[in-house]
Amino acid sequence: MAAQVDVVATRRAWAEVDLGAIRHNAGLLAALAAPASLCAVVKAGAYGHGSVAVARAALEGGASWLAVALVTEGETLRRHGIDAPVLLLSEPPVEAMDDVVALSLTPTLYTAQGVEAAAKAVAAAAAPPLAVHVKVDTGMHRVGASADGAVAVAKAVAERPELVFGGLWTHFAVADEPANPFTDEQCARFDAVVERLASLGLRPPLVHACNSAGALAMPGAHHDMVRCGIALYGVAPSPALAAVELVAGLRPALSLRARVSYVKKVPAGQAVSYGLRRPLAQAATVATVPVGYADGVPWRLGVTGGEVLIGGRRRPIAGSVTMDQILVDCGDDDRVLPGDEVVLIGRQGGEQVTAWDWATKVDTIAYEVLCGIGPRVPKIYG
Q: Which residues have a catalytic role annotated?
A: 43, 274
**Which residues neighbour 352 within 8 Å (Cβ) at sequence distance 6 or greater?**
309, 346
What Cα–Cα distance (Å) separates residue 148 from each residue in 48, 166, 190, 199?
A: 37, 19, 11, 14
What Cα–Cα distance (Å) separates residue 175 from each residue in 2, 10, 183, 211, 241?
A: 52, 43, 6, 8, 10
Backbone conformation region of residue 117, classed left if phi is above 0, alpha if psi is from -120 to 50, else beta: alpha
Three-state SS string over 169-188 comes to ECCCCCCCCCCCCHHHHHHH
Partners of 207 in the β-ladder: 168
- 3-state secondary structure (DSSP) of residue 110: coil
Backbone conformation region of residue 236, classed left if phi is above 0, alpha if psi is from -120 to 50, else beta: beta
Q: How many CA atoms lie within 13 A of 275 on its CB side?
A: 11
Distance separating alpha carbons of residues 162 and 333, to the nearest angstrom: 69
Contact 324, 292 (CB under 8 A): yes
**Count of other CB atoms within 10 angstroms of residue 290:** 18
Distance separating alpha carbons of residues 120 and 363, to the nearest angstrom: 46
Q: How many CA atoms lie within 13 A of 248 on its CB side?
A: 3
Distance separating alpha carbons of residues 126 and 102, to the nearest angstrom: 10
Distance separating alpha carbons of residues 160 and 109, to the nearest angstrom: 13
**Count of other CB atoms within 10 angstroms of residue 196:** 15
Distance separating alpha carbons of residues 44 and 275, to the nearest angstrom: 34
Burial class from Cβ neighbours inside 10 Å (0-12, 13-18, 19+) for residue 8 reads: middle
Tell me the residue type at 199: S
